Structure 1
Amino acid sequence: MNTILRTIQSRWRTAAGVAVAGIAPVILAMAKTPPASAVAAAPLVAVHAPVAATAATLKPRPAAKPLARAPLTRAVDAVRAEVKRGAFPGAALAAGRGATTSLIEGVGTTTWKGATVDPERTVYDLASLTKVVATTTAAMLLYEDGRLDLDAPVSRYLPEFSGGNKDDVTIRDLLTHTSGLPAGTGVRGSTADEKLASLIRTPLRRAPETRVEYSDVGFVTLFAALEKAAGEPVEQMLERRVYGPLGMASTGYAPGADCARCAPSWQTADGTPVRGKVHDPTARALGGVAGNAGLFSTVADLSRFAAMLAGGGELEGVRVLKPETIDTFSRRQPGADNRALGWETPNADGTGAAGKSMSPRAFGHTGFTGTSLWVDPEHGTWAVLLANRTFDAHASNRIQKLRRTVHAYVTESAEEAPDSLLAD
């Protein structure tokens, strides 16, 4: 943990005048602002290594057909209506098909009297989206490398995770929230290392693989195991192999209080907005770097991440993951309700974030602060919605319905503008 804490601050320094190498501009059918590559001159994170040194470079796939405009306009209107209602100060959303971004839009402000949301620059606290954009993605990379066995006991990688039935808990169990660990627990200790150790010592609530219980403790434990398997800080590996090659220059942990373009996800008792500090108390106790929460990003960055997933692990000629790895991790697991490996899949009754419009093969995740990212392989579509609904003490619970509404409009826009390339 100390290694991570020594390196995270350098990720967020401004490097004015530096462009991200090897990244072509995305196609914006509706954007009112320049593409991400045009604003990369002032990234939040350190300059990335050349793409060729970090990911396979391939011939770019043909551009997908843009989504129909009218339903996407209605999606923006739905978000704007929630801002006007007072559900949250503002939001950023993006949607597309394959590598083609058809919508990227900011609505409202970062606080009730703050700056206008800029979809290219406004940074949001991703909350539990960290579980997939960071932790699960790291597991996918290590699985591809042959350094992570999904059915191996966690104790193979993290010997201190032992006692009781813990020796029976596998990496797969942590990914599917069937480990038997509780949702959360008290954090004890005075240093980040001591606090992490206390979480890893958390006893099981029940035998593994007997019930799904969404567990932050499980993903904190998984993050620690992945770091042992990787032999380096997880966030360092992700920067080198995912965020850097994809040009996600505004994605990382612990931006800090001086992050002027961070939308605050909470405020102090006297009403002072808190910027760049994670809302989740467990991640905060660990210094802001954790497997359950702590990652920050923009909707522009996450649109590139989602497009990579929709493209079978490749974006604009840069291969990050193999298609078969994405398929393995995004498929619903037996005995795990709607859980895939790290990812969620649509609820059968349509009450989840995906709603009723997405196909059964869709996968995604949400975050408590008001964030979500979903990909639908059947339609080739993806959607990202970022908000700071927790900025007020009484967070609005309207975000889940809004997610379903946005996803329905994205699916409708794909159906109105079918793409023959999806058959390839």
Structure 2
Amino acid sequence: MIASVSTTLLAAGCAQLPGAAGPQLDHARFAEIDRAIETVISDKRMPGAVFHLERNGESYEKAYGSVSYDSNAPKVRPDTIYDAASLSKIVATAPSILLLAEQGKIDLEAPLIRYFPECGGKGKDGMTIRHLLTHSSGLPAGIPALPAWEGQAAAHALACAREITDAPGTAFRYSDINFILLGQLVQKVSGMPLDEFAQRNIFTPLKMTDTGYLPLARFPASRIAPTHVSPLKVEDKALHPELEHGEVLQGVVHDPTSRRMGGVAGSAGVFTTAHDLARYARMLLAGGELEGVRVLSRESVRLLTTVQSPPGIAQLRGMGMDIDSPFARPRGALFPIGSYGHTGFTGCILWVDPTSRTFYVFLSNRVYPDDKANILPLYGQLGTLAAQAGMGR
């Protein structure tokens, strides 16, 4: 079932993170991590996965299982590319917004209507960029699928037309609409689509060579773990006749809203590898730079990764990262509040603890073949085991 494993002291190939010192990973925990993941694969709740754990320059990385349940399916490799789903929010959209704020092109406290006047009215005029980034806008969770629609313009019109259920800044609700609008804001103020902006300003400087939107333009489908659309939804039949029989999606974004938007959305659409997400995490722990290349300012990293939710909201979010909300299962039982990260619907995690300088990445395609598998208990297990390995508890 195991495809590949490596335990590496990264200092042999690159400098340790600034300030890194003290004990490194507890190797005794690795077998427990393996068992937790292999049990879920054996139960057919996901066909395969990649796990990466790192602290103070030492890493443990392993690939498990196969990319699908087909008898001749390729084994997962450490460089298998996965649909990262909502990790797109924290590796592409939020850092792009913060970078544009650094450049003076976006005011994070400004109302959205300064940039999109058409999104105002019905109590939304006070909705700020901060509210969108911290999921405190009051907007509902998503854009309706019916009647059938397609394209960026249609998505924008539908997002702007949605009515709030809470006054901006008064309640937490995780909403894809927030990040759909933020992704479109990147294009509005930068003059380039979100995928191009993120590639040019985040992924390329960080040498995240296997990360980006629309992966089939750069990589063969064989490198990408498949997802699936089954049973086929009515709205997908109307807009995507090529999926008439519920064919496997391989290199095409799983999220249906992003798919209707052409595969590029602020909420979903990024494909990536564990190796690349590890580089992103190292950049955050180093205060916004990696290997001498600065990607974000220290202030942007602070805004992204520390509590920025409006006062009075119990669910704690950074301007992108989850810190303490019902979605923070990957924190497990031991990482402290103050650690941060995010999940993706397809079965993906990035979680970082700046106190112990430990982070872990988990990529899977648990949505294969029918979206029905539930691996949420594994999220908590991995968080606890990663903390035990990285914090010596």
TM bucket normalised to smaller: 0.7 to 0.9
Kindly provide the amino acid, as one letter, of the partner of residue 183 in structure 2.
F
Q: CA deviation at 1:62?
A: 7.1
In 1, Cα distance between the equivalents of 2:53 and 2:270? 21
Match of 1:90 in 2: 48
Are the aligned partners of 1:310 and 1:382 in contact in 2 as well (CA < 8 Å)?
Answer: no
Unaligned runs of 5+ in 1: 1-29, 39-57, 418-424
Task: Give structure 2 stretches of 5+ with no counterpart.
Answer: 232-244
TM-score, with structure 2 as normaliser:
0.85
Check if 1:112 corresponds to 2:74: no
Partners of 1:124 and 1:60 in 2: how far apart?
26
Contact (CA 8 Å) 2:304, 2:318: kept in 1 or not? Answer: yes
2:178 is aligned with what amino acid? G
Q: Which residue of 2 aligns with 1:328?
A: 303
Q: Which residue of 1 aligns with 2:60?
A: 103
Is residue 353–residue 401 contact of structure 1 (8 Å, CA) maintained in 2? Answer: no
Q: Work out whether 1:181 is the aligned partner of 2:139.
A: yes
One-letter amino acid of the structure 1 residue matched with residue 48 of structure 2:
G
Match for residue 304 of structure 1 among 274, 279, 285: 279
1:345 and 2:345 aligned:
no
Residues 39-188 of structure 1: pairs in structure 2 closer than 5 A:
61=18, 66-98=24-56, 100-113=57-70, 114-120=73-79, 122-187=80-145
Who is 2:184 aligned against?
224
Matching residue of 1:241: 201
Deviations 1:395-417 (A, max 9, x none): 222x2221221122221122339
Q: Does 1:317 find its partner at 2:275?
A: no
Matching residue's letter, 1:102? S
CA distance in 1, matches of 2:83, 2:322: 20
Retained in 2: the 8 A contact 1:267–1:274? Answer: yes
For 1:79 and 1:382, the matched residues in 2 are separated by 17
The residue matched to 1:253 in structure 2 has which SS? Answer: coil
After superposition, the C-alpha distances for 1:21-69 in whole angstroms (9 at most, x for unaligned) are xxxxxxxxx6179x9xx9xxxxxxxxxxxxxxxxxxx998476664222
Post-superposition CA distance 1:111-148 (Å, at most 9, x none): 0122111112x111111111111111112212222222
8 Å contact from structure 1 (residues 196, 286) kept in 2: no
Q: Which amino acid aligns with 1:415?
A: M
Asked if 1:259 is matched to 2:217, the reply is: no
Pick from 361, 383, 387: which aligns with 1:407? 383
- The 1:59–1:206 alpha-carbon spacing in structure 2 relative to 1, beyond 3 Å, is closer
Instruction: Tell me the amino acid that sits aligned with residue 161 of structure 2.
Output: R
- The CA distance in 2 between the partners of 1:101 and 1:240, in whole Å, is 29
Determine if the alignment matches structure 1 residue 196 to structure 2 residue 156. yes
The answer to whether the 8 Å contact 1:31/1:103 transfers is yes
Q: Name the TM-score, length of structure 1 as normaliser.
A: 0.79
Give the equivalent residue in structure 1 for 2:362.
Answer: 385
1:202 CA drift (Å): 2.2
Determine if contact 2:149/2:260 at 8 Å carries over to the other structure: no
Find the partner of 1:364 among 328, 336, 341.
Answer: 341
Q: 1:142 to 1:71 in 2, by over 3 A?
A: same
Structure 1: distance between partners of 2:346 and 2:155: 23
Offset at 1:74? 2.0
Q: CA, structure 1 residues 351+162, in 2 after alignment: closer, same or farther (shift >3 Å)? A: closer
Q: Is the CA contact 1:153–1:168 (under 8 Å) kept in the aligned structure 2?
A: yes
How has the CA–CA distance of structure 1 residues 81 and 189 changed in structure 2, closer, same or farther, with 3 Å as cutoff?
closer
The Cα shift of 1:351 comes to: 7.0
Matching of residue 355 in structure 1 with residue 332 in structure 2: yes
The answer on whether the counterparts of 1:135 and 1:219 sit within 8 Å (CA) in structure 2 is: yes
* Alpha-carbon separation, structure 2, partners of 1:283 and 1:350: 21
Could you tell which deviates more after superposition, 399-408 or 365-374?
Answer: 399-408
Secondary structure, aligned partner of 1:335: coil
Q: Shift in Å at residue 288 of structure 1?
A: 0.6
CA contact (8 A) 1:379 1:414 kept: yes
Q: Which residue of 1 aligns with 2:235?
A: none
Residue 135 of structure 2 aligns to a residue in which SS?
coil
Question: Residue in 2 aligned with 1:280?
Answer: 255
Decide which of 351, 357, 362 is 1:374's aligned counterpart: 351
Counterpart in 1 of 2:236?
Answer: none
Deviations 1:164-185 (A, max 9, x none): 2221100011111111111013
Query: Whole-Å Cα distance in 2 between the matches of residues 338 and 238 of structure 1?
Result: 26
Q: Distance in 1 between matches of 2:138 and 2:169?
A: 7
Say what the alpha-carbon RMSD is for the aligned residues. Answer: 2.7
> Higher mean Cα deviation, 208-217 or 370-379?
208-217
What amino acid sits opposite 2:104 in the alignment?
A: G
Question: How far, CA to CA, are the matches of 1:305 and 1:327 in structure 2?
Answer: 15
Secondary structure, aligned partner of 2:117: coil
When residues 195 and 140 of structure 1 are mapped into structure 2, their CA distance, relative to the original with a 3 A threshold, is: closer
Change (3 A) 1:291 1:355: same
Question: Shift in Å at residue 243 of structure 1?
Answer: 0.8
| Residue identity (%) | 37
Question: What is the distance in 1 between the residues matched to 2:371 and 2:190?
Answer: 39
Q: Return the alpha-carbon distance in structure 1 between the equivalents of residues 100 and 16 of structure 2.
A: 25
Aligned positions, number: 363
Which residue identity does 1:117 align to in structure 2?
V
